[in-house]
Amino acid sequence: MSYFSELAYQYIDGEWRTGSGSWDIVDFNPYNGEKLASITVATAAEVDLAYRAAERAQHAWGATNPYTRRLVFERAVRVIEDRERELTEAIIAECGGTHVKAAFELGLAKEFLREAVSLALHPEGRILPSPIDGKENRLYRVPVGVVGVISPFNFPFLLSLKSVAPALALGNAVVLKPHQNTPVCGGGLVADVLAAAGLPPGLLNVLVTDIAEIGDALIEHPVPRVISFTGSDRVGRHVATVAAAHFKRTVLEMGGNSALVVLDDADVDYAVDAAVFSRFVHQGQVCMSANRLLVDRSLERAFTERFVDRVRTLKVGDPRDPATHIGPLINETQAEAVTALVERALAEGATALVRGTADGTLVGPTVLTGIAPDSPVLAQEVFGPVALLIPFDGDEEALKIANSTGYGLSGAVHTGDIERGVRFARRVDTGMIHVNDSTVHDEPIVPFGGEKNSGLGRLNGDAAVEDFTTTKWVSIQHGRSTFPF
């Protein structure tokens, strides 16, 4: 596939170049193990080159008329539309995503680029009064300068663009480090699409590397003022600690342990549909996935029977097959971790209503019930196709269970009474929650983010303006000031 030969490099100051490290990151197809690319890692020296290139390019870009800047993102949408088939194939090959997942990712990527077109015009200034006669106070909204972006492997093209596009639209430059498992979809493709759309050189730089090579150089470097990170809470905690020590702002989008709650007046069939999608889309490798399915005991039997029947129809296999629902996990380490989690839960007394088998990176869906309330399985993010069924008695117990986690990213509640659902939703400690829908949602103008260990700050829309710009006070004294000495 040409993308994996043409884009398997570092991208610095508008040029594709080989890294100067002494080892390679090898990019594999998670389904069949095919070697897609081999990329020599960037070193700390290239981190410096990338940030310095971004710093130089940003000054002119930040002064560019925002109506001109937004044209890049208009053209980028057309580039994706023109290359949709090739981009779909790349996502399937590198991420193990199904056709449904690839369509979802590319569709949202285009929506975020369309929002970037609008976002370029969002910053507004203000004039504030002063107690001093003749004084005028102006507040300008200006770019932060350079933004460092660290993106994950699960939706790499989308989740890179989710920070890259608004940061650029608002007049910043960016240095992007994609995940090692998805260096092309999360890095090279983003740079290639935006370059084809006319983004000037130096404004977006892509570094394929690893902390084993560069340590914390990407975060500690003096040039970036904001670090936008999407990934696990363990790594996010480290990013936040290092960034804070260097007085950098962070935007952290981390893990989740979402609950989909089915109240006693819910439409069972519809709730089952939402639960199957919420738990098993992209093999459960989604931060918003419904890890825990909470069902009122009065509906437990009906919901469980229908849910189990649906799960047994899910096809596991080659993601290139349009009929496949569940493709491979990103690597064998992840597959082994999910398998071990299921085995631990069973050893603690849980019952498997469906027990998926593992074959390399392919892990079939599992449905567990009878889980002890204090089981560690309930407290962690499960990044794989494992559903945990938990009955409850009444809304108050449901709320207690839903909130009994260190995470708070997404969620859903199903009920026949919309306002009852809203009242319930407002009491769940989570950044996002949806009434009578899936737990998996993202919209370009709606603030996206979580509470507790799920992150700090928000992305999307006006929240991105707060993330990637800062305020500057310019005062003007009309006439002469008087001074005490």
Whole-prediction pTM value?
A: 0.95
> Which DSSP state fits 243?
H
pLDDT at 89: 96
Q: Given the structure tokens 């709606």, which residue do they identify? A: 446
Q: 81, 253, 332, 466: which is the annotated catalytic residue? A: 253
Q: 46, 94, 287, 381: which is the annotated catalytic residue? A: 287
> Tokens representing 326?
């569940």
Residues 318 and 327: beta-carbon distance below 8 Å? yes
pLDDT at 253: 96
Residues 366 and 382: beta-carbon distance below 8 Å? no
Give pLDDT tens digits for 407-457.
999 999 999 999 999 999 999 999 999 999 999 999 999 999 999 999 999
pLDDT beyond 80 at 297: yes
**Quick one: pLDDT band at residue 2, thresholds 50, 70, 90?**
confident
CATH 3.40.309.10 region(s) of the chain? 258-435
**Quick one: pLDDT band at residue 342, thresholds 50, 70, 90?**
very high
pLDDT at 71: 97
Q: What angle do CA 276, 404, 412 make, to 5 degrees?
A: 35
Residue 253 is among the residues annotated as catalytic for this protein: yes
First to last CA, the chain: 74
d(CA 369, CA 391): 9
CATH 3.40.605.10 region(s) of the chain? 2-254+454-473
Percentage of the chain beyond pLDDT 90 is: 98
Residues 425 and 272: beta-carbon distance below 8 Å? no
Give pLDDT tens digits for 109-143.
999 999 999 999 999 999 999 999 999 999 999 99
> So what's the architecture of 2-254+454-473 in CATH?
3-Layer(aba) Sandwich (3.40)
Mean pLDDT of all residues belonging to the chain = 96
pLDDT beyond 90 at 1: no
Q: Given the structure tokens 């390019």, which residue do they identify? A: 57
pLDDT beyond 60 at 254: yes
Give pLDDT tens digits for 230-245.
999 999 999 999 999 9
d(CA 393, CA 297): 6
> Which DSSP state fits 200?
P
d(CA 355, CA 339): 10
Give pLDDT tens digits for 25-65.
999 999 999 999 999 999 999 999 999 999 999 999 999 99
Q: What is the CATH number of domain 258-435?
A: 3.40.309.10
pLDDT at 198: 98
